[in-house]
Structure 1
Amino acid sequence: MTLRLTDVEADALRRRAEYERRSMQDVAKQAVREYVENHSRQDLLSSVLDEQLPRYAEALERLGK
């Protein structure tokens, strides 16, 4: 896989890697892992809410009054 960054993105990644005393590759790989993990959790939560919320809609409406 090849990752093409703009000059601005590459510079920001380079600065961050230097700040953390890590390689640019390590910082980029961690960012990808965090992105996938965070979005996977959000997708799972959305899926559960879509399936379960209608089941409890009447009770939730009553609680909101």
Structure 2
Amino acid sequence: MTLRLTEDESVALRQQAELESRSMHEVAREAIREYVENHSRAELLDRVLDEGLPRYAEALERLGR
């Protein structure tokens, strides 16, 4: 895979890597892992809420009273 960054993105990545005494490769891989993990959780939560809320709407409404 080739990752094409703008000049500004490349500079920012290089600076962050230097700040952390890590390679640009390591910083980029970690960022990708975090992105995928966070978005996967959000999508799962959305799906659970979309499917679960209608099923328990009446019970939730009663609890809210």
**Residue in structure 2 matched with residue 16 of structure 1 by the alignment:** 16
Tell me the equivalent position of 1:29.
29
Query: Which residue in the other structure is 1:39 paired with?
Result: 39
Provide the aligned length of Structure 1 versus Structure 2. Answer: 65
Q: Percent identity?
A: 71
- Which residue of the partner structure matches residue 50 of structure 2? 50
Equivalence for 2:6: 6
Cα offset, 1:56, TM superposition: 1.4
Give the TM-score normalised by the residue count of structure 1. 0.91
Question: How far apart are 1:55 and its partner, in Å?
Answer: 1.0
Alignment of 1:61 onto 2:55 = no
Q: Following TM superposition, where does structure 1 have runs of at least 4 consecutive aligned residues deviating by more than 6 angstroms? A: none
CA RMSD after TM alignment: 1.0
- Long gaps (5+) in structure 1: none
Q: For residues 8 and 39 of structure 1, what CA distance do their matches in structure 2 show?
A: 25
Unaligned runs of 5+ in 2: none
Instruction: Give the secondary structure class of the aligned counterpart of 2:3.
Output: coil
Cα distance between partner residues in 2 of 1:26 and 1:10: 14
